[in-house]
Each structure stands twice: as structure tokens, then as C-alpha cells.
Structure 1
């Protein structure tokens, strides 16, 4: 199967009423497909994941398309989206402490590489914070520098332990003993 077929099949799966924040619909995607603008069509499709919970088969079509076009960043994002379709979405506004206040000295890489620990408020039997691990995907940037604030997506290693999160809750990020950042949950949805 070629890229045009894969993207066409993915476009056919998007409900007609889905619109992203920029006002793009599947009609726009089909227009780019008609002109063999596959990379643009892939980017638009991958951005049509709001307003519906895409099935893993949809993400698989996008992943295959990205890999056939050698678009490793797009493929990485589609793998992340596939994971969220299975496990749910956790988005937060993360504020990193400046390095002068004990925060990180280097930026957080943007593509889900870093796996810090998070305090969600739970306690161990000994009364210590029950820290949980989650990958961090920085939205709309390649990295989040020390002292900066930005939107992130979290990929918990144990998603079920994060199911109680609600928008407005604050959690803390740790890479050792002291916290290196705080995050306010802006979206939390469990797996279907």
C-alpha cells in the first residue's frame, strides 16, 4: 500500500464534524491529498485528533504513512497519539523552576524522551510521597528550558494510577529529592 492509499483510508475514518483549533476539517485534508501534498495532509490529519477519540487503526495508518515518507518526528507524534488512544490523555501547564532555585540545568527535550517522577498526592505505607513515572511531550516546542512554563502531555507508565486527575489539580515533577517543577492539569481523560 502506498502513502496516498494509507492517508486516504485515514481521512475516510475522520468524522465529518471534526474541526481542529485552526478550523481545519477532513475536507481540507482531502484537498491536499488530491494535489499529492502528502506531508501536509499527514500533518493536518495528525492535528485532527481533537473532538473525537481516534482508534488505534487510524494512528497505525498515520504511523505507516510517516515511516514511508521518512518523517521520524511525525511518526513519533503518531506513536504518542496511538498510546493516548489506548491509555487516555493527560495535559498540563508545566512550570520548571529556574536552575538558580534548584531546578534543571538543561531543557526538557520535547518528544517524550524524559521520564521524570511525579507526586500526584499519594503516599506510600511509610508516609512518603508515592512518586510515579511519566514521559513528557512538550507541546508546540522542541524543548522546555529551565525556568520556563509550557503545555505538556504526560505519558504515565502506570496509567490507571493517574485516572483520578482532574483539570485544575496541581502535581509536582521530581528528578531527585526536591521538586524541579509544578504542573497544573488542563485535561485528563481516561481510556475508553
Structure 2
């Protein structure tokens, strides 16, 4: 299926009453599609998907569209949202240790590439922290610098281990045995809160 057809199919999954903060609706998407402004239409559909839970097929269709347009970051975001639709959303306010205090000396990509370990309060049978792996997406920034602070989204490798988290809980990020950053959980949306079909 070509890009315009994919975007049309995705737009049919968005309820007409859904609008972004800027009052963008699916009708605006249709206007951009009519003028072959596919990248703008894709971005607007993703915005609409951020304000209203949409089915997995919506994000899969957007991911395929972005891949066909060779929009790597957009495709990665749509695949990330597929994972969140299946497993739930965890958002946190992350503060990294400054370069002079931690091992990380360089920025990292904010597009879900880094998969650090997290101390989320689990313990091994011997009482040691049982670190859990989760991918990290930085909201509204292409990279995150040592010492930086940003809202992030986490994609756990084993989502069931993270079910006990609550807003306000403090968790720590590790890239080795030392603490690389500290995060305060902002929002948890369980998978059942989102459509999955």
C-alpha cells in the first residue's frame, strides 16, 4: 500500500471529535493529504494519537508510512508507541548526573536507542538491587546531555516487573554499577487503559 493510502487508513481510525491543544482535527489531516503534504499529515496524526488512545493498528500504519517516507525518527516514534499500546506508558522526570560525577561523558540519542538498567525497588534473593532493563525515549529533545533533565518515556524489557510503580516514586538509572541518573515517575498508564486491537 502506498503512503497516501496508509495515511488515509490511519486517519479513519481517529474519531472526528478528537482535537489537539491547537484545535487540529482529522479534518486538517485530510486537507494536507489532499495537497500531498504527507509528512505534515503523518505528524498531525501522531499528535492526535498522543491526545487520544488509538488502536495498535493506527501506530503500525503510521510506522509503515514513516518507513516508506524514510523518516527514521518518526518511524522509531511510531514503533515506540506500538510498544506502549501493548505494554503501557511510563513517563518520568529524569535528571542525569553531571559528566564530572558519572561515567557518561557524552550525550546520548533521545530516540529510544539507549536501554539502561533501572533500580525500581526490586531485590534479588540476596537483598541486592535487581536491576531491570528499559529503553528510554526523551520527550521533545533529540539528545540528552550529562547533567541534563528531561521528561522521558520508559519501555521495560519485562513490563510485568514494573507494575508496582506509582507516580511520585523515585527510581535510579544505571549504565554500570554506579547511579547514572535519578527519575521521578510522573505518569503510569496500564496496557488495559489503551485499545490494543
| CA-CA distance at 1:19 after TM superposition | 2.4
Specify whether residues 37 and 151 from structure 1 end up closer, same or farther in structure 2 by C-alpha distance, changes over 3 A only.
Answer: same
Indicate the SS of the match to 1:91: strand
| CA-CA distance at 1:20 after TM superposition | 2.8
TM-score (norm 1): 0.94
User: Where in structure 2 are there 5+ consecutive unaligned residues?
Assistant: 193-197
Within a 5 Å distance, the mapping from 1:105-144 to structure 2 comes to 105-144=105-144
Determine if contact 1:19/1:50 at 8 Å carries over to the other structure: no
Determine if contact 1:18/1:50 at 8 Å carries over to the other structure: no
Counterpart CA distance in 2 for 1:22 and 1:174 is 38
Within a 5 Å distance, the mapping from 1:83-162 to structure 2 comes to 83-162=83-162
Aligned residue number for residue 26 of structure 1: 26
Q: State which drifts further: 100-109 or 60-69.
A: 100-109
The superposition leaves residues 67-101 of structure 1 with CA deviations (integer Å, 9 ceiling, x where unpaired) of: 22121221111111111110111111110010112
Counterpart CA distance in 1 for 2:24 and 2:122 is 41
The superposition leaves residues 23-65 of structure 1 with CA deviations (integer Å, 9 ceiling, x where unpaired) of: 3221221221121111000011112223432211111211121
The superposition leaves residues 88-126 of structure 1 with CA deviations (integer Å, 9 ceiling, x where unpaired) of: 111111100101122521112111111110011121111
> Counting strand residues as a fraction of each chain, which structure ranks higher?
1
Counterpart CA distance in 1 for 2:178 and 2:75 is 35
Instruction: Count the aligned residue pairs.
Output: 192
User: Where in structure 1 are there 5+ consecutive unaligned residues?
Assistant: none
Indicate the SS of the match to 2:130: strand
Counterpart CA distance in 2 for 1:21 and 1:127 is 47
Indicate the SS of the match to 1:13: coil
Aligned residue number for residue 8 of structure 1: 8
| CA-CA distance at 1:169 after TM superposition | 1.2
Counterpart CA distance in 2 for 1:178 and 1:20 is 41
Counterpart CA distance in 1 for 2:49 and 2:73 is 17
Counterpart CA distance in 1 for 2:102 and 2:67 is 40
Counterpart CA distance in 1 for 2:18 and 2:170 is 30
Counterpart CA distance in 1 for 2:16 and 2:25 is 7
| CA-CA distance at 1:147 after TM superposition | 0.3
Aligned residue number for residue 195 of structure 2: none
Counterpart CA distance in 1 for 2:77 and 2:69 is 14
Indicate the SS of the match to 1:151: strand
